[in-house]
Copies of this chain bind each other. A is one copy, B any other.
């Protein structure tokens, strides 16, 4: 996988608790059918073995379709399952340490809410950023919204691609058009919908306007 050529337009984040489909891998397959271009496996409170086996099952869906699979937080799960990369929050392992462990080929994404965090992540070897939360969200309650002004500052501060995350749907995303954003990361707007493929298709179209 060429890290430089990843299409971040519709970045799907999983959450078993919100999924309308019976398995994570089925949800992921349906979302890819609708246009999801990156998949992040984010499963909190998951025992290591279970997370690993889930990663292998999801990879069997993403890999044949050429979709990058990113593991939230757990570098060891990424290595064991040979996923494409990891996504690190500000409370996960430092990006610099992650890069040492993962080498240059794996993708590393870092969450940032401030220009300084974004700059630091790029300096520490991040390949992309997750910026948010841009809207109020049920998934994460400890975050203040990142405004369009802050997004503009972040865009000016770094050269790597970034996706926005947090309460995004196919309507409110229009408020974020023209800010230089590379894609939208979504959880509930896709996986919690009864027709995941249709929801992904709608979301993809909306995200292409970014």
Enumerate chain A interface residues (CB-CB to B < 8 A): 47-50, 52, 73-77, 79-80, 90-94, 97-98, 100-101
CA distance A80 to B100 in the complex (A): 8
Q: Which residues of B contact A92 (CB under 8 A)?
A: 47-49
Q: Is the CB of A97 within 8 A of B52?
A: yes
Interchain CA distance A48-B91 in the complex, whole Å: 7
Knowing A47-B91, A91-B47, say if A80 contacts B52 (CB, 8 Å): no
Determine how close the nearest CB of chain B comes to the CB of A4; give it in whole angstroms.
25
Q: Select one of B49, B79, B80, B90 contacting A91, CB under 8 A.
A: B49
Question: In the complex, what distance in Å separates the CA atom of A100 from the CA atom of B52?
Answer: 14
Chain B residue at minimum C-beta to C-beta distance from A49:
B91
How many copies of this chain? Answer: 2
> Which residues of chain B have C-beta atoms less than 8 A from A76's C-beta?
74-76, 79, 93, 98, 101
Do the beta carbons of B93 and A52 come within 8 Å of each other?
yes
- A197: min CB distance to chain B, Å: 33
Closest to A86 in B: B76
Q: A93 touches which one: B80, B91, B93 (CB < 8 A)?
A: B80
Q: Closest B-chain residue to A79, C-beta based? A: B101
User: Across the two chains, which residue of chain B brings its CB closest to A47?
Assistant: B91
A74 to B48, CA, bound (A): 8
Smallest CB gap from A73: residue in B: B48
Q: Using Cβ atoms and an 8 Å threshold, which residues of chain B touch A75?
A: 75-76, 79-80
Name the CB-closest residue of B to A74: B76
**CB neighbours of A101 from chain B (8 A):** 76, 79-80
* Contact yes or no, B80 A97, CB < 8 A: yes
Please judge, given known A-B contacts A80-B97, A80-B101, whether A91 and B50 are in contact too, CB under 8 Å: yes
Q: Which residues of B contact A74 (CB under 8 A)?
A: 48, 76
